[in-house]
Amino acid sequence: MQYRVNGVELHVKQNGQGDLSLVFLHYYGGSLRTWGKITDVLKEEYHCIAYDQRGWGDSEKSAASYTIKDLADDAQALIRELGLKRYVIIGHSMGGKAAQLLASRQPDGLEALILVAPSPPTPQDMPQEMRKAMVHFYDNREGAEIALSNIALLPLEENVREMVLEDMQKSAPMARAAWPEIAMLEDISAEVMHIEVPTLVLAGESDPVDRLETLNSELLPRIPQAELRVISRTGHLSPLEAPDQISAEISNFLAKLEMSGLNPSKE
């Protein structure tokens, strides 16, 4: 289903049930399909909402701006449009950085934050030639295959691998360029210190993109209630490389919070 927010049509998929909604934000190169195996499990207990961010998947690709603020604004507007009363934001990589910014605004109804292989809130240092190369990784299948080989540690099922390659190329050129040239360099480190909800960080043990040591130094110290869990022998695409472990970690975290009273900081 399509929802128009902030002047952009977003492709949204909802399934599941329950009073608590889970809102999923995908990585740079992904789509709502990235979360398919996760939502197939979690929909038994929760209302799951995944969507293609602006410029990706089947969402509109005519937007002129793709900053982290734009992505956070879209998520916030979609949550408002859907009338969610109680929800958890779950973001992966680029989506994780947008999720951090949104959570820092302390929006009504937010109960918890889950960050999966998240990009840190600080600017990511990278050689300029590599940054320029990233802009064109997803221009064609050959580039997408190279990118995939550099970020996933575990082999993907053939149908999943084809889905990833298709998603990487199914994107707006401006969206592909905006992450390495703009959003990756944005500094939201001051904002994330205002996150008040319980936060789970799921890091791939062998993630070559958002490395464990980077998260320990740049992310964890800045979020007051952050809890780190390491997914062993996993790369950057943990929702696809280790979906059972990611689903279990999310389920356990939410169950623990439910038992103790979800989001005690807002009581």
Confidence at residue 259, expressed as pLDDT on a 0 to 100 scale = 86
Token pair belonging to 146 = 């190279």
Nearest CA to 119 among 102, 101, 94? 94
Model confidence pLDDT, tens digit, residues 96-138: 999 999 999 999 999 999 999 999 999 998 888 888 888 999 9
Confidence at residue 263, expressed as pLDDT on a 0 to 100 scale = 53
| pTM attached to this predicted model | 0.96
Most confidently modeled range among 80-89, 129-138, 252-261 = 80-89
Q: What is the mean pLDDT of residues 34-55?
A: 98
Per-residue confidence at 266, pLDDT binned at 50, 70, 90? very low
Confidence at residue 262, expressed as pLDDT on a 0 to 100 scale = 60
Per-residue confidence at 264, pLDDT binned at 50, 70, 90? very low
Model confidence pLDDT, tens digit, residues 240-254: 999 999 999 999 999
Per-residue confidence at 8, pLDDT binned at 50, 70, 90? very high
Please give the mean pLDDT across all residues of the chain: 95
Q: What is the mean pLDDT of residues 182-208?
A: 97
